[in-house]
């Protein structure tokens, strides 16, 4: 994937989220009736304005001890 410039990210802030979602739907990656959000999703801090960034997901498992390759310090995950 090509790097996105700061200028490109700033330009995206002016495009309404539904317009972006509608454009992505045309990629036909998943059926259009999957992966949508209902009306219960809303901005927690609407006064902060539009924001853009990269979303990252992860899995945290607490029912078993970590394996050797998964032994990390969670302190490193905190932004300061």
Q: What letter does residue 25 receive in the DSSP assignment? A: H
**DSSP state, residue 32:** T
The answer, as to whether pTM is greater than 0.85, is no
The tens digit of pLDDT for each residue in 46-58 reads 898 888 877 778 7
Residue among 10, 18, 79 at smallest CA distance from 50: 10
46: CB partners within 8 A, 6+ apart: none
Any idea where the domains of the chain sit in the sequence? 6-77
Quote the pLDDT of residue 47. 93
Integer CA distances (angstroms), 41 to 37, 38, 47, in order: 7, 6, 16
């Amino acid at each position: 994937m090509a790097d996105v410039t700061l200028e490109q990210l700033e330009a995206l802030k002016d495009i309404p989220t539904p317009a972006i979602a509608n454009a992505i739907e045309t990629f036909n990656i998943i059926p259009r009736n999957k992966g949508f959000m209902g009306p219960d999703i809303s901005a927690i801090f609407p006064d902060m304005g539009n924001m853009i960034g990269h979303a990252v997901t992860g899995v945290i498992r607490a029912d078993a001890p970590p394996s050797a390759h998964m032994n990390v310090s969670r302190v490193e995950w905190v932004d300061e």
